[in-house]
């Protein structure tokens, strides 16, 4: 692993802190507190400024599926939107315990030109020189390319078949195109709209409000996700 230069810098580097605990007992204990204290101490010593903190509650470090790690998913959306390119974790196991899961996630951060620093050693784990990690990364790259080509071929074949059978081929319609969805979007916008002497309603609060009103998602669930609402309103 490459070591981060800890020399004094004239300008603070913006960074996002990512905390993860895998059990309920750690949520109720000092897991989050300990991690955040260590990260903030490292940031202070190394001229970094924490601009946001994301907490992953009771999530295993062996999964790389972003759908199963909502805080990490939100973090990546924030990186894509605000230009911050540094993520700080207490140590590599807080990011991922499983080598393959870790490499899959690192690939996502590398695509965004972002780095992940573990504060216990001050190492950039997204630039690991470990030969095993490199081998895994190369294999995953080859598998990813193969899967991408396979998916493209399957989609092309399916579209041709649908076109032949139906005379047309439609992709998935965006939220708002189906009956009743435009009204839901209008409600989301109304809730999100800033009012005098009041802050904008958070996406989490909007999700809870929709659930309280009995409004279902397209899949029929009453559980709305804040990042889903964010994407709908960003269109």
pLDDT tens digits, 118-132? 898 888 887 766 676
Residues 125 and 192 in one domain: no
Q: Say whether both 116 and 44 belong to one domain.
A: yes
The reply to whether 76 falls in a domain is: yes
**Predicted confidence band at 26 (pLDDT cuts at 50, 70, 90)?**
very low
pLDDT of residue 119: 92
List, for residues 86-119, the tens digit of each pLDDT value. 999 998 888 777 777 777 788 888 888 899 998 9
Whether residue 1 lies inside any domain: the answer is: no
**Is residue 109, in this structure, part of any structural domain at all?**
yes
Asked whether residue 92 falls in the same domain as residue 188, the answer is no
For 59-83, what is the mean pLDDT? 77
- Domain interval for residue 225: 181-234
Of the candidates 16, 113, 144, which has an alpha carbon nearest to the alpha carbon of residue 74? Answer: 16
111, part of any domain: yes
Does residue 92 share a domain with residue 14?
A: yes
Say whether both 18 and 105 belong to one domain.
Answer: yes
Query: Is the domain of 206 the same as that of 117?
Result: no
State the total domains in the chain: 2
Q: What is the 3-state secondary structure (H, E, C) of the chain?
A: CEECCCCCCCCCEEEEEEEECCCHHHHHCCHHHHHHHHHHHHHHHCCEEEEEEEEECCCCCCCCCHHHCHHHHHHHHHHHHHCCCEEEECCHHHHCCCHHHHHHHHHHHHHCCCEEEECCCCEEHHHCCCHHHHHHHHHHHHHHHHHHHHHHHHHHHHHHHHHHHHCCCCCCCCCCCCCCHHHHHHHHHHHHCCECCECCCCHHHHHHHHHHCCCCCCCCCCCCCHHHHHHHHHC
pLDDT at position 148 over 80: no
Q: Are residues 21 and 127 in the same domain?
A: yes
The predicted-structure confidence for 155-194, as pLDDT tens digits, reads as follows: 888 777 766 655 444 556 788 888 888 899 888 888 888 7
18-39 mean pLDDT: 76
């Amino acid at each position: 692993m490459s070591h981060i230069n800890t020399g004094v810098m004239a300008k603070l580097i913006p960074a996002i802190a990512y905390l993860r605990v895998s059990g309920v007992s750690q949520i109720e204990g000092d897991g989050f507190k300990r991690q955040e204290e260590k990260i903030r101490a490292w940031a202070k010593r190394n001229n970094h400024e924490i601009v946001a903190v994301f907490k992953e509650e009771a999530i295993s470090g062996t999964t790389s599926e972003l759908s199963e790690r909502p805080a990490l998913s939100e973090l990546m959306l924030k990186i894509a939107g605000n230009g911050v390119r540094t993520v700080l974790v207490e140590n590599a196991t807080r990011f991922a315990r499983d080598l393959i899961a870790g490499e899959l996630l690192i690939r996502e951060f590398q695509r965004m030109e972002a780095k992940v620093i573990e504060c216990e050693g001050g190492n950039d784990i997204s630039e690991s020189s470990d030969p095993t990690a490199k081998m895994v990364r190369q294999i995953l790259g080859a598998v990813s390319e193969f899967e991408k080509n396979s998916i493209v071929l399957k989609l092309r074949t399916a579209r041709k078949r649908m076109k032949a059978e139906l005379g047309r081929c439609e992709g998935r319609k965006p939220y708002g195109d189906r009956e009743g969805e435009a009204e839901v979007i209008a409600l989301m916008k109304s809730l999100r709209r800033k009012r005098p002497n009041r802050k904008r309603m958070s996406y989490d609060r909007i999700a809870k409000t929709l659930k309280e009103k009995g409004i279902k998602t397209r899949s029929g669930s009453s559980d709305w996700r804040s990042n889903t609402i964010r994407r709908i309103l960003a269109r």
